[in-house]
């Protein structure tokens, strides 16, 4: 499992379950307060750690996944640098574990392939006929390719373990992939992504979800973005020291996600 040494367990399962029930009743304050703080990425321009409170205690809060200005809520932002644009999460579920994430909106997982040819777009979901592991909630990791190609932003990918509360212990079982975006002109980049998302979805309300079109399957090929120096990954050493890396394809840990195995 990627970056298991970064996992934080700062509260008991009983405490987490209590505040999660409060959250379900519409009271978010205590829930956000108990979440551990993690860097979601390092800025390629200023190298500042962008930090948020992230729920790595359970997959239940990751039922609806879309890009936004934060992973959960703006109250969970600890620090964003001046270059930050947006962040998008992707949740990996081991193929042998088809547990449905508890969500009023989504109750399914979809198969991942390294370079898929999407058969259709169904709302916010990519669907394919391939039935091989691994599986991701909603869709597999992809960059907002047009923003990188037009040099509107640069992207950073990072991963964190997500636990399942089992027998009063937090057991890491899932992997959260986090892709964040940074720009020297963040307002311009944000506006461009928002305009393109609305154009593609024909949405009435604001959205930041830019789904690749069939001729843009190269958006899924994370390695080629690294090779071009437009996608960085966060390299975390055994002491938790974080550095940014790019262009080194051989060392890129996410180049073969179709072979991903969590233990």
Q: Where are the domains of the chain?
A: 4-259
Asked if 172 and 159 touch (Cβ cutoff 8 Å), the reply is: no
Q: pLDDT tens, position by position, for the chain (263 residues)?
A: 899 999 999 999 999 999 989 988 888 888 999 999 999 999 999 999 999 999 999 988 775 567 889 998 888 999 999 999 999 998 887 655 555 444 433 334 443 333 333 333 332 333 333 333 446 665 678 999 999 999 999 999 999 999 999 999 999 998 999 999 999 999 999 999 999 998 888 765 667 888 888 899 899 899 999 999 999 999 999 888 999 999 999 999 998 776 554 43
Given a contact cutoff of 8 angstroms between Cβ atoms, the answer to whether 168 and 197 are in contact is no
Say what the pLDDT of residue 212 is: 87
DSSP 60-89: GGGSS---BSSSS-GGGEEE--TTEEEEEE
pTM: 0.84
């Amino acid at each position: 499992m990627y970056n298991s040494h970064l996992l934080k367990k700062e509260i008991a399962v009983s405490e987490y379950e209590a505040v999660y029930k409060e959250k379900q009743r519409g009271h978010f304050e205590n829930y956000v307060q108990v979440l551990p703080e993690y860097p979601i990425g390092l800025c390629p321009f200023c190298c500042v750690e962008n930090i948020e409170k992230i729920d790595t205690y359970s997959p239940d809060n990751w039922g609806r996944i879309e890009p936004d200005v934060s992973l959960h809520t703006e109250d969970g932002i600890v620090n964003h640098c001046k270059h930050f644009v947006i962040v998008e999460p992707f949740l990996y579920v081991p193929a042998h574990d088809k547990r449905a994430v508890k969500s009023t909106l989504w109750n399914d997982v979809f198969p991942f392939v390294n370079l898929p040819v999407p058969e259709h777009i169904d709302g916010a979901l990519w669907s394919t006929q391939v039935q091989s592991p691994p599986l991701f909630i909603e869709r597999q990791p992809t960059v907002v390719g047009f923003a990188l190609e037009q040099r509107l932003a640069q992207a950073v990918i990072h991963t964190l373990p997500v636990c399942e509360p089992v027998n009063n212990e937090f057991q890491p079982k899932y992997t959260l992939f986090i892709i964040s975006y940074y720009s020297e002109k963040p307002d311009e980049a944000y506006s461009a992504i928002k305009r393109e998302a609305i154009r593609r979805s024909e949405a009435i309300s604001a959205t930041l979800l830019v789904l690749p079109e069939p001729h843009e399957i190269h958006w899924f090929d994370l390695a080629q973005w690294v090779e071009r120096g437009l996608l960085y990954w966060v390299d975390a050493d055994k002491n938790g020291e974080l550095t940014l890396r790019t262009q080194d394809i051989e060392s890129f840990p996410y180049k073969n996600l179709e072979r991903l195995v969590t233990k």
